[in-house]
Chain A
């Protein structure tokens, strides 16, 4: 069965610091990869996704992620965080077939202090 690991459960950064959140998945086949974000009091929303092509994916709000197939990783990065990036971040994967359920990691809570 697929699984997704997010190694950092809580991250605290100061504004302007760089961010990298780890995500590793276990599945041997072709996958689609997603990062979702949940801001306080808001719905889950998509930050970015990878399904083919350039393994460096750019998303909204200056976020990017790199798919490294050999490492089964899809780490999320942002060069300079803002206070408004305080949120919970979820990595998710699904199989690149007709089977569409998302398997989520347990999430990383990011707190950015001003």
Chain B
């Protein structure tokens, strides 16, 4: 595909359940990012993968959040024991290496925790 894809597009879950969100980056992009967009909060950085380096997890809000990137491509963001405050749009982006390169964003996954 030409762009970053994410699945599912919408996820409704009950408080306390675990969820997995998937991101397929643009082929050849070595850097992958997860952001969260909450109502009125703007976009908040969560985690960043660059090649085979250890990920930068400094933005993860709690230990309920984790992410992995398998084979340098697809990434999964997992939220355990979801809480209502986790409701947001989760955005994935990818880019070539180097900080000035454009990050290409996916359509996001809208997570609603009831």
Residues of A within 8 A of B (CB): 32, 34, 36, 43-46, 49, 51-52, 90, 92, 94-107
Task: Out of B42, B44, B99, name the residue touching A100 (CB < 8 Å).
Answer: B99
Is A90's CB under 8 angstroms from B43's CB? yes
Give 17 CB contacts A-B under 8 Å: A32-B100, A34-B102, A43-B3, A43-B105, A43-B107, A44-B93, A51-B100, A90-B42, A94-B99, A98-B50, A99-B56, A100-B33, A101-B33, A102-B33, A102-B35, A104-B44, A106-B42
Please pick, from B42, B59, B95, B99, the residue contacting A96 in the complex, using a CB distance under 8 A: B99
Q: How far is the CB of B25 from chain A (nearest CB, A)?
A: 14
Q: Which residues in B have some Cβ–Cβ distance to A below 8 Å?
A: 3, 31, 33, 35, 40-45, 48, 50, 56, 58-59, 91, 93, 95, 98-100, 102-103, 105-108
Cα distance, A88 to B99, chains bound together (Å) = 23
Q: Which residues of chain A are near B98, meaning CB under 8 Å?
A: 100
CB distance from B58 to the nearest CB of A (A): 8
A49 touches B105 (CB 8 A): no
Q: Is the CB of B33 within 8 A of A104?
A: no
